[in-house]
Amino acid sequence: MKKPYVISEELGLAGQINRENIDVFRESLDDNLRNMGKMAVWVNEYTIRTGMEELAEQTSLPVLNLDDRYLRNSDEYIGLSRAVVRRGNKYVSSGYASRVGYSSIDDQIAKITQQYAGKELVLADDVVFSGQMIEDLSNMLEKRNIKVRGVIAGIAIGEGVDRVSRLGVDIEAVESFSDVEDELCERDFTLIRGSGRRSAIEPGCVDGANVLYFDPRWGDPVSWMSLPEGQERSFWLQNLRRNQRLLPPERPASTIGPFVGVSQSGSVGGAINELLDEAENGRK
């Protein structure tokens, strides 16, 4: 039996998109994935939001939120992203970096320590997959005399639940899957700000661009989103066309990204057309 390829919906919560084209975007992406042999399972964004809010209301402890999209009201936020660094003409995984719009990780941790040292709290995140980020953050906080007592997740995958549980931390999730082929946030199929993995130019840098998951020029769609080998460029082309319909073409390109290899000058429509021209003509 195939493992589910889980996608957490998010476009309904996003701004500055052609909302009338969300369903078209999803239907096209779903067809694309199924034609590649994926058993796509979609989790509704409002189910995630409502469920996470209900779980957060049930705890008396402060909530430190790694997600600023679904859970809207939290005591404190921390912006962490899986980081990548350039090695030759590709970007490879390399620890963590701060998310777009957040200060450096060190500054964020210092602020949290100042407020919560000697206290207990609950972590919240939209997805707990491997559980590695939760474990690393828990250990980071433990060294600063902050104890993580629980985890709230929108979606939790079996291996992540096991890892968190081994820490002696309770985890509750809105939706759970024992095993999956992969789990992707819907945003990571788009050119919306926050998509992709953060480029860590140097330790503590907060100005790096993101590398798109589905960009075969700089990213690694096979390992980052479990695409079949040999279909990366075809998917890149089809996904650019989906984004062409989803994003208002007249928007300034500077309002998305910044993304590695994507123009920040001119309009969004112009930037996507440049990428399509490269993809259709086989140029990098």
What is the rounded distance in angstroms from the CA atom of residue 224 to the CA atom of residue 214?
8
CA atoms within 13 A on the CB side of 57: 7
Q: Give the H or E element holding residue 174.
A: strand 170-177
| Beta bridge partner(s), residue 7 | 42, 184
| pLDDT single digits (tens) 226-274 | 999 999 999 999 999 999 999 999 999 999 988 999 999 999 999 999 9
What is the rounded distance in angstroms from the CA atom of residue 234 to the CA atom of residue 279?
9
3-state class (DSSP) for residue 118: coil
pTM of the model: 0.92
pLDDT of 284 reads: 52
Whether 112 shows a pLDDT value over 80: the answer reads yes
| Beta bridge partner(s), residue 80 | 98
**Residue range 46-66: mean pLDDT, rounded:** 97
> Contact, 271 vs 255, CB < 8 A?
no
Nearest to 51 by CA among 131, 165, 127, 120: 127
The CA-atom distances, in angstroms, between 10 and each of 189, 240, 281 are 11, 18, 32
> Contact, 83 vs 199, CB < 8 A?
yes
Whether 53 shows a pLDDT value over 50: the answer reads yes
